[in-house]
Every structure is written in C-alpha cells, then in structure tokens.
C-alpha cells in the first residue's frame, strides 16, 4: 500500500466518521424534539411507534453502521502504514506506528505519520525493452 493510498483511506474514514456523528446527532435530536422517545426522568424507557420516529431510528442505526465501517477503514490504513514502514531500511517509523497502535494511540500515530512520515521511496526505473530491429527481407530475385 503506498503512502498516498494510506492517506486517502485515512482521510476518507475521518470524513465518514464526522458525517456519521453529524447524522447521529441530527437524527437523535429530531427524534427527541418530536417526542418519539418515552422518557422517565433522564432515561429513555420506550419509543413511540410513529413513522417519523422509526425513520429517525433507522437513520441513527445507519449512522452507527457508517461509523463502524469508518473505524474498520482507519484500522486498515494503520495496518497499511505498518506494512509500508516495515519495508523501509530504517525501522523507526515501523516501531513508532506499531507500539503506539498497540497502546491504542493509533490515531495519533497515523496523524503524525501522515504529516511528518517518510515519503514513498523512489522506485527503480526498469528500462523498457528496446524494440528489436527486424532484419530486412531481401525480396529481389537473383538474376543469373
């Protein structure tokens, strides 16, 4: 996985997480404002079975699923970064990403890696095979 792909995956998952949190807040707020929840003091003890209430609960469930998918994408980006840095000669970034990720600081490690981490190494250019010159055929008929 290239550093560019890792950055795109990480960035897209951040956008998805923020969108999921916004959707969850809006759906929950609208359901609460519409009186879709049966409250007992500060506790929700039931849901009023109205079409609007169920739509808001469905949107909240979609937001939770989106957030979970974005969390999986964050993990995939972290694993990609760990694998990418393991291939480098200097193992400092590999150790930093691995240790911080193992101690639940993977998000911070990924932000630091994407801001200040090593760039993709220049790949060696393989020369393209030269087009072999075909021998020219002599189509002249010999005269005797």
Beta bridge partners of residue 39, listed in sequence order: 44
Question: Does 97 fall in a domain?
Answer: yes
Each residue of 6-58: pLDDT tens digit? 999 999 999 999 999 999 999 999 988 988 888 888 888 888 888 998 899 89
Each residue of 74-127: pLDDT tens digit? 999 999 999 999 988 888 989 999 999 999 898 999 999 999 888 876 555 566
Token output for 77: 């980006």
Question: Does 93 fall in a domain?
Answer: yes
Say what the pLDDT of residue 144 is: 67
Counted domains in the chain: 1
Say what the pLDDT of residue 130 is: 60
Q: How confident is the model at residue 134 (pLDDT cuts 50, 70, 90)?
A: low
By residue range, what is the domain housing residue 21? Answer: 3-116
* CA-wise closest residue to 11 among 59, 80, 61, 62: 80
50-58 long-range contacts, CB within 8 A, separation 24+: 56/27, 56/28, 56/30, 56/31, 57/27, 57/31
Question: Does 70 fall in a domain?
Answer: yes
Q: What are the φ and ψ backbone dihedral angles of 102, each rounded to 5 degrees? A: -70, -30
For the cut 80, the answer to whether the pLDDT of residue 129 exceeds it is no
Question: Does 98 fall in a domain?
Answer: yes
| Distance from C-alpha of 123 to C-alpha of 3, rounded to nearest angstrom | 13
Question: Does 36 fall in a domain?
Answer: yes
Question: Does 144 fall in a domain?
Answer: no
The answer to whether the beta carbons of residues 73 and 20 sit under 8 Å apart is no
Question: Does 140 fall in a domain?
Answer: no
Question: Does 31 fall in a domain?
Answer: yes
pTM summary value: 0.74
């Amino acid at each position: 996985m290239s550093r560019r792909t890792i950055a795109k995956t990480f960035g897209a998952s951040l956008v998805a997480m923020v969108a999921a949190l916004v959707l969850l807040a809006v759906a929950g707020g609208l359901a609460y404002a519409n009186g879709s929840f049966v409250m007992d003091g500060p506790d929700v003890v039931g849901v009023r079975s109205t079409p609007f209430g169920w739509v808001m609960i469905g949107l909240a469930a979609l937001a939770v699923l989106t957030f979970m998918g974005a969390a999986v994408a964050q993990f995939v980006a972290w694993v990609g970064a760990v694998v990418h840095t393991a291939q480098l000669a200097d193992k400092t970034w590999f150790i930093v990403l691995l240790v911080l990720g193992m101690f639940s600081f993977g998000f911070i490690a990924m932000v630091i890696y994407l801001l200040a981490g090593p760039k993709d190494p220049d790949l060696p250019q393989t020369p393209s095979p030269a087009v072999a010159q075909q021998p020219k055929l002599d189509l002249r008929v010999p005269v005797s």
